[in-house]
């Protein structure tokens, strides 16, 4: 998490480290972190599962950064609310103060949540192209973003949003307006690419003034379409690094792609016996440019890879080794992926 300066297991329970723990939770409170983000941040800090429950609010949250645990240390923060840390072994020296500040932060943030408007609804308003600018500006300021200040929008699929929020910090705000989650954040650190949350697919929109959030959201969803293309593209894609590919995604409709003979040939190939395996081999070949390297990547014998490539060349009607052949294959695979991954 941004701002995480501690590794609890390596610290003593002295005054200086206690102050650092207090400051950690104070920043979460100041940033109006959501209850889910608070639990995730605490678990990351303590390096053990952490939880928050309040039956009166219908709330039960647990974050588990590592293996499960047996011993639970609990602290109440209201008549019905409690927080806890779980450890398999002995408590760490700073666990008591972590638990105390965790409880205080839970009480304060849940009281804020009672009095404040729904963040998710405000995020959806900010992203709506139909909203009036005055309403979008008001929603941005309520979320503590300035309409004229740079803002990133992230489009997220295939992961729990709290894992991404833990990287971005407590100022980020999230919503789920559809099958793709949205996050507003002032910064999109390189840590997203270096260590994307497990299973995450993230499209990052460019830094635009907050008032232009609908356009940033459109570009973030376009970038998301370029993730998870076999081994050919990373899990996190930034729109401002797509170059000409952004124009390809923006201009080509599914109907246009359907007219591309190479894409139709790939569809026929996929429908044949072992078709999925052949497409996996084609993706590995495009990513590596080598039969032997492709074999190593998909854990097949190189003779099997050569046979699969030859089969695909016959079906598509051109050689992948000919000038421009591999580029033509890459383009066909990309167009098929964009068709099946709508914005």
Distance in angstroms (rounded) separating the CA atoms of residues 266 and 316: 7
Task: Tell me what pLDDT residue 98 has.
Answer: 93
At which of 233, 251, 269 does a domain end?
A: 251
Domain span at 97: 8-115
At which of 232, 251, 270 does a domain end?
A: 251
Is 300 found in the same domain as 214? Answer: no
Long-range residue pairs from 95-98, CB within 8 A, at least 24 positions apart, any chain: 95/8, 95/46, 96/13, 97/13, 97/18, 97/21, 97/22, 98/8, 98/21, 98/42, 98/45, 98/46
Calculate mean pLDDT across residues 278-298.
82
Question: Does 30 map to a domain?
Answer: yes
Question: Does 1 map to a domain?
Answer: no
Task: Tell me what pLDDT residue 3 has.
Answer: 42
At which of 236, 251, 266 does a domain end?
A: 251
Confidence of residue 4 (pLDDT cuts 50, 70, 90): very low
CATH number at residue 293: 1.10.10
Question: Does 105 map to a domain?
Answer: yes
CATH number at residue 215: 3.30.70
CATH number at residue 71: 3.30.450
Could you tell me the pTM of the whole model? 0.59
For the stretch 72-110, pLDDT in tens is 889 999 888 999 999 888 888 889 999 999 999 999 988
Number of domains in the chain: 3
């Amino acid at each position: 998490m941004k701002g995480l300066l501690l590794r609890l297991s390596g610290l003593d329970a002295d005054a200086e480290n206690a102050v650092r723990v207090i400051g950690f939770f104070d920043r979460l409170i100041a940033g109006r972190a959501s209850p889910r983000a608070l639990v995730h941040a605490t678990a990351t800090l303590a390096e053990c599962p952490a939880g928050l429950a309040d039956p009166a609010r219908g709330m039960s949250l647990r974050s588990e950064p590592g293996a499960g645990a047996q011993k639970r240390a609990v602290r109440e923060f209201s008549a019905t609310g409690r927080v806890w840390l779980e450890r398999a072994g002995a408590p760490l020296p700073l666990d008591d103060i972590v638990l105390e500040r965790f409880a205080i932060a839970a009480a304060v943030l849940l009281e804020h949540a009672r009095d404040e408007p729904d963040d998710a609804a405000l995020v959806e308003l900010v992203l709506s192209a139909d909203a009036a600018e005055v309403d979008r500006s008001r929603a941005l300021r309520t979320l503590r973003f300035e309409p004229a200040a740079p803002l990133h929008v992230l489009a997220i699929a295939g992961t729990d949003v709290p894992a991404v929020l833990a990287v971005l910090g407590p100022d980020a705000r999230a919503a789920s307006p559809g099958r793709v989650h949205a996050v507003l954040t002032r910064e999109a650190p390189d840590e997203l690419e270096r260590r994307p949350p497990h299973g995450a697919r993230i499209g990052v929109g460019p830094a635009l003034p907050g008032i232009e959030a609908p356009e940033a959201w459109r570009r973030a969803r376009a970038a998301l379409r370029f993730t998870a293309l076999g081994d050919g593209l990373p899990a996190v894609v930034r729109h401002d690094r797509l170059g000409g590919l952004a124009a390809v995604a923006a201009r080509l409709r599914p109907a246009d792609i359907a007219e591309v003979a190479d894409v139709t040939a790939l569809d026929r190939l996929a429908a044949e016996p072992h078709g999925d395996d052949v497409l996996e081999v084609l993706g590995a070949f495009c990513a590596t440019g080598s039969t032997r390297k492709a074999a190593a990547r998909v854990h097949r014998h190189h003779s099997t890879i050569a046979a699969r490539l030859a089969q695909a060349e016959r079906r598509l009607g051109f050689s992948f080794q000919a000038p421009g052949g591999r580029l033509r294959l890459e383009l066909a695979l990309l167009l098929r992926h964009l068709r099946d991954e709508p914005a």
